[in-house]
């Protein structure tokens, strides 16, 4: 098959950790590469945000990144890209008419708009993965949500117009059905993890060196909803424990980052700043060693569409203590591969962590079970195979009949 991955703001070539570069970039890169390994040709369409980028770049054998000229060729926040989606869709239509594309898979709602525009001109069937839903974001972020006003309605419309919505977790299915997306058009295929790169004992020199008896690690974009503040509050009740936070801009630019500054203020107010290390963005290749240096990875977002980091920790054999929201409800088995706590609840988090840190043998059992489950369910080749089944049903025009037969 020739597959078009459409990812308007999240390029698979981007550097990770910034405000708009995280799981979607990893997902698109890894899924595309795994599909190419399975013998498909994959074109990843992403917006040109730098005039010096070549039009096409080979990401891996069988995977071409196409830089689409739509809007100014400079970095633009993802929430401000909507005005350029018609132009993006027109460029897609040109490519799909000359490149005999079998299926398109749109990532994020704006890519869905562009893809549906191109599909109307070319007849290419479209799968949609939202990655995040405006309705959920609005519920949690209220007036600080910077999404364009029509987002929720647009997502409902996209969900009804595409051939299939590929949700990444069961919680998302509930949200989609609530939005009016027909359940028989929804399939669940989770995000994956590179189980070779993220593996137990990948060692290496880890910065910063450990300075306390126990180490917790958080990894993610430095945005408030990731809930790092909850971990800082919990740390006040966890003696002899340090916290390393990876994510945000590179270390030299952290002092100019509003969220980093805010977190350091919180840490000071809680009297834990001497045990907190904000290390900034960590190269994806260096993450397995950092994750592996942790006694537990903590992921306590307010909400989380999927959350690749908990699966990366699991693949490293490190137990996750996470909030019981979104994708974590599927990826962390409470009491088996990690522990789940309510979001924004520092006391519950401290209590779960105290228990885990005090019992090294339990940590080892949970970590080993986490690794087994990651290998059994979340390797990218497996995820690509599940995705391919969805694409094949789309090509046959059989999404609805196959749902009825299930």
Q: Which is nearer to ligand UDP, 304 or 388 (CB)?
A: 304
E strands of 11-116, at which residues?
41-47, 56-60, 63-68, 103-107
Which of 4, 8, 22, 42 binds ligand UDP (CB under 6 A)? It is 22
- H/E stretch holding 402 reads helix 399-405
DSSP E strand boundaries for 319-396: 320-323, 338-341
* Minimum gap (Å) between residue 383 Cβ and ligand UDP: 14
We find the least distance from the C-beta atom of residue 285 to ligand UDP, in angstroms, to be 8
Q: Coil, strand, or helix at residue 299? A: strand
User: Closest distance between ligand UDP and the C-beta of residue 381, in Å?
Assistant: 17
Among 122-130, 157-165, 169-177, 301-309, which window interacts with ligand UDP (CB under 6 A)?
301-309
Taking the complex as a whole, the smallest distance from the CB of residue 372 to ligand UDP amounts, in Å, to 21
Query: Residue 92 or 282: which CB sits closer to ligand UDP?
Result: 282
- Beta-sheet pairing, 63-68 with 56-60: antiparallel
Q: Which residue is at the shortest CB distance from ligand UDP?
A: 22
| Min dist. Cβ of residue 249 to ligand UDP (A) | 10
Which listed range, 14-22, 151-159, 207-215, 260-268, lies at the site for ligand UDP (CB under 6 A)? 14-22
Under the binding rule (CB under 6 A), the answer on residue 17 touching ligand UDP is yes
Q: Least separation, in Å, of the C-beta of 197 and ligand UDP? A: 10
Please give the structure tokens belonging to residue 313: 């920790």
Residue range at the interface with ligand UDP (CB under 6 A); choices 16-24, 118-126, 154-162, 389-397: 16-24
The strand ranges marked E within 11-169 are 41-47, 56-60, 63-68, 103-107, 126-129, 164-167
- Asked if 325 and 207 count as a contact pair (C-beta separation under 8 A), the reply is no
Of 257, 263, 262, nearest to 244 by C-alpha is 263
Number of residues that bind ligand UDP (CB under 6 A): 20
Q: Does 16 bind ligand UDP (CB under 6 A)?
A: yes
Interaction with ligand UDP in 100-159: which residues (CB under 6 A)?
none
**What's the closest the beta carbon of residue 163 comes to ligand UDP, in angstroms?**
25
* Residues 195-254 within binding reach of ligand UDP (CB under 6 A): 219-221, 246-247
Contact between 214 and 237 under an 8 Å Cβ cutoff? The reply is no
Contact 91, 18 (CB under 8 A): no
CB 265 within 8 A of CB 332: no
Q: Which is nearer to ligand UDP, 19 or 121 (CB)?
A: 19
Give CA–CA dist 154/117, Å, rounded.
13
Q: Which is nearer to ligand UDP, 25 or 64 (CB)?
A: 25
- Binding to ligand UDP (CB under 6 A) within 256-285 occurs at 281-282, 284
Q: Which C-beta is closer to ligand UDP: that of 22 or that of 159?
A: 22
Report the site for ligand UDP in 30-89 (rule: CB under 6 A): none
Instruction: Write the CB contacts of 279 (distance below 8 Å, at least 6 apart in sequence).
Output: 207, 208, 244, 245, 246, 251
How far apart CA 124 and CA 335 sit, in angstroms, is 45
Answer for which of 5, 119, 179, 287 binds ligand UDP (CB under 6 A) is 287
Q: What's the N-to-C CA distance of the chain in angstroms?
A: 25
Is residue 379 near ligand UDP by the rule CB under 6 A? no
Contact window for ligand UDP (CB under 6 A) among 20-28, 115-123, 318-326, 370-378: 20-28
Q: Measured from the CB atom, is 12 or 125 closer to ligand UDP?
A: 12
Q: Is 178 exposed, middle or buried (0-12, 13-18, 19+ CB in 10 A)?
A: exposed
Q: Rounded CA gap, 8 and 141, in Å?
A: 23
Segment 305 to 324, residues that bind ligand UDP, using CB under 6 A: 306-309, 312
Smallest distance from the beta carbon of 235 to ligand UDP, in angstroms?
Answer: 20
Q: How far apart are CA 311 and CA 371, in angstroms?
A: 9
CB 149 to ligand UDP: min, Å: 23
For ligand UDP, the binding residues (CB under 6 A) are 16-17, 22-24, 26, 219-221, 246-247, 281-282, 284, 287, 306-309, 312
């Amino acid at each position: 098959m020739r597959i078009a991955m459409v990812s308007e703001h999240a390029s698979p070539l981007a550097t990770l950790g910034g405000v708009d570069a995280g799981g979607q970039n990893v997902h698109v890169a890894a899924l595309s590469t795994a599909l190419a390994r399975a013998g498909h040709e994959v074109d990843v369409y992403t917006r040109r945000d730098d005039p010096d980028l070549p039009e096409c770049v080979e990401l891996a054998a069988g995977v071409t990144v196409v830089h689409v000229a739509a809007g100014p060729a400079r970095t633009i926040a993802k929430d401000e890209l909507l005005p350029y989606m018609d132009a993006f869709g027109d460029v897609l239509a040109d490519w799909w008419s000359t490149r005999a594309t079998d299926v398109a898979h749109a990532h994020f709602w704006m890519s869905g708009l562009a893809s549906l525009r191109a599909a109307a001109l070319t007849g290419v069937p479209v799968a949609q993965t939202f990655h995040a839903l405006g309705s959920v974001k609005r519920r949690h972020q209220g007036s600080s949500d910077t999404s364009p006003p029509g987002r929720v309605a647009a997502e409902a419309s996209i969900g009804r117009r595409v051939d299939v919505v590929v949700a990444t977790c069961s919680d998302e299915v509930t949200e989609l059905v609530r939005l009016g997306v027909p359940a028989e058009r929804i399939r669940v295929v989770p995000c994956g993890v590179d189980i070779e790169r993220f593996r137990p004992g990948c060692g290496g020199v880890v910065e910063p060196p450990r300075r306390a008896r126990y180490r917790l690690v958080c990894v993610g974009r430095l945005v408030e909803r990731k809930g790092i503040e909850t971990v800082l509050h919990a740390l006040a009740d966890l003696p002899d424990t340090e916290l390393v936070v990876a994510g945000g801009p590179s270390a030299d630019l952290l002092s100019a980052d509003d969220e980093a500054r805010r977190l350091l203020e919180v840490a000071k107010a809680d009297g834990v700043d001497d045990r907190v290390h904000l290390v900034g963005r960590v190269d994806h290749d260096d993450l397995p060693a950092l994750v592996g240096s942790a006694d537990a990875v903590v992921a306590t977002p307010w909400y989380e569409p999927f959350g690749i980091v908990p699966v990366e920790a699991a693949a490293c054999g490190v137990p996750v203590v996470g909030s019981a929201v979104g994708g974590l409800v599927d990826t962390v088995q409470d009491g088996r591969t990690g522990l789940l706590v309510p979001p924004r609840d520092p006391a519950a988090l401290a209590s779960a962590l105290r228990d885990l840190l005090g019992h090294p043998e339990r940590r080892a059992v949970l970590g080993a079970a986490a690794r087994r489950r990651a290998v059994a369910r979340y390797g990218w080749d497996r995820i690509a195979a599940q995705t391919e089944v969805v694409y094949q049903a789309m090509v046959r025009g059989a999404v609805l009949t196959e749902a009825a037969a299930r």
